[in-house]
Amino acid sequence: MSESSNISGKVTVITGASSGIGHGTALHLAEQGAKVVLGARREDRLKETTEAITQAGGSATWKVTDVTDRDSVQGLVDHARETYGPVDVLINNAGVGYVGTIDKIHVDIWDLMIDVNIKGPLYGIAAVLPEMMARKQGHILTTTSIAANAVLTNMAVYSGTKFAVKAICEGLRQEAGPHNIRVTQVLPGLVMTEIGADSDPEAQEELMKEFEDLQLLEPIDIARAFAFAINQPNHVNVNEVVVRPTGELM
């Protein structure tokens, strides 16, 4: 196991850790010596990831977590504290996306995106911020999206949730910085994950035609961005990291 000076030993809670970016980030940070605490809804995936980390000599634990439920998120943070001690790093990674036009009126999907993409990070912040403020240390990172910088075709509501999270994170940075708490947003471009898999087929096809010759990012590419931000000295706050495939223009 390799170790990085400002990652090793840190108690690191990751939501959405059962697949995609969260899964890749858990593996990568554990390799760097972090004590990772995995939260997601799929118990079998959490167990598999935890076993892979521990068998490789890392430290990991898990708890089934629904980020749309504040008590569930608090329970994940409590589990981290009881297992390893106070949380040093929170990665708000759980997210859902949908490709489709507003006129389809998928209100249930809109509600889900608002609950997961906006309320989820807020519940994570609520669970860790008081103790971080008291300790005068901590790092809160959030997976947003390039959709937080520009409204993507057929993804207006998704983009809206990411614009909201970007504003929340920037406000948190301004408020928490004087208390020695770092705040980072990682904004990925197109990544090979499960997000958007249940989208409107026609809209999904239209979007992907624009990128059919593009080599998409892998979860490890985003995991490295998280590690880069965490591993900086405590007086260095990497506020935003935008990571796109080399040929992606949007």
Based on the residue annotation, tell me whether 123 is a catalytic residue of this protein.
Answer: no
The residues, any chain, with a CB within 8 Å of residue 119's CB and separated by 6 or more, are 67, 68, 70
Q: Rg of the chain's alpha carbons, rounded to an integer?
A: 17
Longest alpha-carbon distance in the chain: 51
Q: Which of 8, 143, 24, 141 is nearest to 84 (CA)?
A: 8
The whole-angstrom separation of Cα 188 and Cα 197 is 17
Catalytic center residues: 158
